[in-house]
A = this chain, B = another copy of it.
């Protein structure tokens, strides 16, 4: 990337491959109507020119219909009805935002109906089920994308381009963190599925630690080869899953990443990549309601660039629609997501055994 582009058109959608005006919008079945869907995903789908939320799916038809009543052009159906194929001619793709342990079931139904799948992260509650999810979509030849919104976040894309262009020299180190006060500030329900190991598969690591992990991979364009970490919980609500995780990843060529995630710390999020010649940082990075800042340094120069705040979910949905309507490579795909699942399991195993685990 040319540096001058960074200062004039920093939020450009450099990933567009199909003309939105000459391709039909992608119609979505939206599965799982929790606070994230209602607060983030549905508004983005409604605002998009390339996407339409047409079928809303929840535990009961009543709940789904209630949300659909406030969503232009959408109908509401139950999970069971979805599996039965109700309204399957009304959607082209399925967005899955249920508890993690249910992703496979809905993806399997979507694949059986030959619908493209956009699946929230983490892919599933464990890597075995995630692998089955990938294989199921592969066997049905349907597109599968994992909803890593950092891949279409402009600040992160610009950081990645800078690193790729050699701005920081050889990458040497990544530091990244994401923390929030889940119970006090986001969702005080002690019965929420994120605290249930059966439904979630993991705690802070699976829910937010995956941002530092995946964004480190995306910025380095590399996958970890070994991991260690430690987990901790203080609140009774986090008896079954980690409230806090601190982990270290080894990438090829002795590049290390140190990451932290907590559901019990002041909101903070950032990622820094230090190289032999320079440094790139995105901070704040991972929460949606903040303007992104890109902090650069090389030689004698330091700069901070504030990027316009984009609707990250809309960027992600529109990218997905672009790929569904075109032939260009779709990424982050299922194989990409699987690496995170395997890595997160390695981190838990390393924490339990106080060791480093190699990642195959």
A interface residues, Cβ below 8 angstroms from B: 168-169, 172-173, 175, 177, 179, 181, 226, 228, 230, 232, 234, 244, 246, 248, 250, 254, 256, 258-260, 262, 264-266, 268, 274-279, 297-298, 354-356
Contacts and interface: CB of A to CB of B under 8 A. Distances in A.
B230 A250 contact: yes
B258 A266 contact: no
Determine which residue in A181, A244, A248 has the highest number of CB atoms from chain B within 10 A of its CB, and name it.
A248
Q: Does more than half of chain A's interface fall in helix, strand or loop, or is it mixed?
A: strand
A256 B265 contact: no
Contacts of A278: 266
B248 A172 contact: no
Contacts of A268: 274, 279, 297
The quantity of this chain's copies bound in the complex is 2
A218 to B, nearest CB: 20
Contacts of A258: 175, 246, 248, 258-260
Contacts of A260: 173, 175, 256, 258, 274
A141 B197 CA distance: 58
A274 B283 CA distance: 15
B254 A234 contact: yes
Contacts of A355: 354-356
A262 B258 CA distance: 14
Contact of A172 (B250, B259, B262, B354): B262
5 contacts: A173-B246, A173-B262, A175-B175, A258-B258, A258-B259
